[in-house]
């Protein structure tokens, strides 16, 4: 299916000055990515390590690749040389491995911590308490925590979705809002890095709600590239 360029322009206009668009190109061919690239788009999101590695190898080097899927520690090494932002960091072990691979590549890798906000059990992420207990960050100098990411419940109930986004926004404000940098909180591990901070929430079905709730990065796939067919 062709790329919906009209929709792309509409979304870009809608987000202007408020949020960054990550165009989620998972399962889509490189030709589709190039169509948006030619319109000036540079931020693309992928979920699968092998697919990302294959695409990165043949596409222009100024693309900023976002890894938005569930990342296994043993696969970090494949994307560490080039990944721009890892959205779904959901364990201490994964953070340590990203640090190790980033160091090997002489880089600092930007990460978002994934917070579990959905009522569904299946979604990955830290709970708020686990976030509080995260003590490793000061030792991981090759990891830079840029903010938080979350996925709302897959539901038509926009009140539920909105309340989940609200919860994520409030956690984000607690940890990343500049006004929180009072002397007592300045040394909490999550606030040691500099702004601007990123709050990645919102997908094709719920990005408008996410924007209303303070998202500054949305991850949109099917609205731009059409429905995905996983059986190809
Ligand atoms: C696939 C995916 C998206 C994009 O989903 P659409 O509904 O197609 O916009 C966004 N975020 C994550 C984490 C995804 O896996």
- C-beta separation of 7 from 224 below 8 A: yes
Chain segment 54-68, per-residue pLDDT in tens: 999 999 999 999 999
Residue 180 confidence (pLDDT): 47
What pairs with residue 198 in β-bridges?
A: 147
**Average pLDDT in the 130-158 region?**
89
Answer whether residue 221 is part of any domain.
yes
- Kindly give the number of the ligand 1 atom that is closest to the alpha carbon of 223: 9
Give the residue, out of 15, 203, 225, with the most ligand 1 atoms within 8 A of its beta carbon, to mutate for a pocket test. 203
203 CA to centre of ligand 1 in angstroms: 6
Answer whether residue 54 is part of any domain.
yes
**What average pLDDT does the structure give for the chain?**
91
Answer whether residue 232 is part of any domain.
no
47 lines ligand 1 (CB under 6 A): yes
DSSP SS3 for 137: helix
Residue 126 confidence (pLDDT): 93
pLDDT at 171 over 70: yes
24 CA to centre of ligand 1 in angstroms: 6
Residue 71 confidence (pLDDT): 97
Answer whether residue 161 is part of any domain.
yes
pTM equals: 0.93
Closest residue by CA, ligand 1 atom 12: 68
- Kindly give the number of the ligand 1 atom that is closest to the alpha carbon of 222: 8
**Average pLDDT in the 22-29 region?**
97
| CATH value at residue 34 | 3.20.20.10
CA distance 9 to 14: 9
182 CA to centre of ligand 1 in angstroms: 36
**Average pLDDT in the 156-177 region?**
93
Give the residue, out of 24, 122, 161, 229, with the most ligand 1 atoms within 8 A of its beta carbon, to mutate for a pocket test. 24
**Average pLDDT in the 96-102 region?**
97
Closest residue by CA, ligand 1 atom 15: 69
pLDDT at 2 over 90: no
Chain segment 72-88, per-residue pLDDT in tens: 999 999 999 999 999 99
Q: pLDDT band at residue 153, thresholds of 50, 70 and 90?
A: very high
pLDDT at 1 over 80: no
128 CA to centre of ligand 1 in angstroms: 23
CA distances to 14, 21, 23, 67, 198 from 194, in Å = 27, 21, 25, 21, 11
Share of the chain above pLDDT 70, in %: 90
153 lines ligand 1 (CB under 6 A): no
**Average pLDDT in the 122-145 region?**
85
Closest residue by CA, ligand 1 atom 7: 204
Answer whether residue 231 is part of any domain.
no
Q: What is the 3-state secondary structure (H, E, C) of 18-50?
A: CCEEEEECCCCCHHHHHHHHHCCCCEEEECCHH
**Number of structural domains in the chain:** 1
Which residue in this structure is represented by tokens 């606030």?
A: 191
Domain that holds residue 67: 5-177+184-225
Answer whether residue 216 is part of any domain.
yes
Answer whether residue 199 is part of any domain.
yes
**Average pLDDT in the 95-106 region?**
97
Chain segment 3-21, per-residue pLDDT in tens: 999 999 999 999 999 999 9
Answer whether residue 230 is part of any domain.
no
28 CA to centre of ligand 1 in angstroms: 13
Q: pLDDT band at residue 136, thresholds of 50, 70 and 90?
A: confident
Q: pLDDT band at residue 139, thresholds of 50, 70 and 90?
A: confident
């Amino acid at each position: 299916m062709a790329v919906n360029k009209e929709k792309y322009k509409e979304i870009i206009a809608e987000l202007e000055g408020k949020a960054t668009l990550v165009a989620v190109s998972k399962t889509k061919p490189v030709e589709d990515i190039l169509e948006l690239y030619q319109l000036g788009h540079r931020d693309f999101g992928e979920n699968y390590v092998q697919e990302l590695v294959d695409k990165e190898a043949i596409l222009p080097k100024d693309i900023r690749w976002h890894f938005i899927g569930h990342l296994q520690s043993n696969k970090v090494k494949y994307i560490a040389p080039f990944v721009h932002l890892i959205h779904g960091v959901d364990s201490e072990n994964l953070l340590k491995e990203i640090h190790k691979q980033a160091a090997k590549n002489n880089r600092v890798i930007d990460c978002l911590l994934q917070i579990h906000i959905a009522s569904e059990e299946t979604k990955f992420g830290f709970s708020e308490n686990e976030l509080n207990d995260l003590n490793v960050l000061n030792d991981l100098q090759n990891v830079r925590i840029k903010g938080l990411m979350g996925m709302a419940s897959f539901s038509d109930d926009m009140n539920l979705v909105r309340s989940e986004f609200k919860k994520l926004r409030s956690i984000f404000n607690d940890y990343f809002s500049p006004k929180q940098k009072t002397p007592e909180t300045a040394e909490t591990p999550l606030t040691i890095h500099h702004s601007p901070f990123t709050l990645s929430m919102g997908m094709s079905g719920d990005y408008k709600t996410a924007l209303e709730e303070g998202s500054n990065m949305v991850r949109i796939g099917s609205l731009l590239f059409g429905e995905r067919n996983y059986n190809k």
